Amino acid sequence: MKGLSIVFHTPEIPGNTGNAIRLAAVTGAHLHLVEPLGFDLSDAKLRRAGLDYHDLAHVTVHPTLEDVWETLGERRVIAFTTRTQDSFADVAYQPGDVLLFGRESTGLPDEVVDDPHVDLQVRIPMQPSRRSLNLANSASIAVYEAWRQHGYPGGA
């Protein structure tokens, strides 16, 4: 979806980020990674998961979350967290939305979820007593819902 941004806050697993690179390439989203990363960007697992999509994706690495906010400017930020009962499916997504996800092991820290730049907190429903979805899968669910709502602009 043109103008949509995905933000991974301090991701840990190279395969998830590689899959997100592929997701960004096939949907036209822009992937933003906030350091520290739990891997080197030349990691073989990241390259394998992203396959040949690295050159087709828009990926930016930021030293801090504040740098992300400065880069993106005034845009609506939607944080994906287990701290709310509000469903991601109830959001009317807008072009330019920022979809914010936390690290694989702990999700978004409280100070990020409570950041004044965050406009909405949503969750992806799942069966009770399950810890979490895979990070790349969560981003895919959210991006495709936003893209679907707008009729898959630019999609074939």
- In the block, which residue shows the tokens 């009729």? 151
| Spatial contact of 27 and 147, defined as CB atoms under 8 Å apart | yes
Residue (of 44, 17, 27, 18) closest to 101 by Cα position: 17
Backbone angles phi, psi at 6, to 5 degrees: -110, 130
DSSP 54-115: TTTSEEEEESSHHHHHHHH-S--EEEE-SS---BGGG----TT-EEEE-BTTTBS-HHHHT-
Residue 141 counted as an annotated binding residue: no
Residue 13 counted as an annotated binding residue: no
Residue 6 counted as an annotated binding residue: no
Binding residues for S-adenosyl-L-methionine: 102, 124, 132
Binding residues: 102, 124, 132
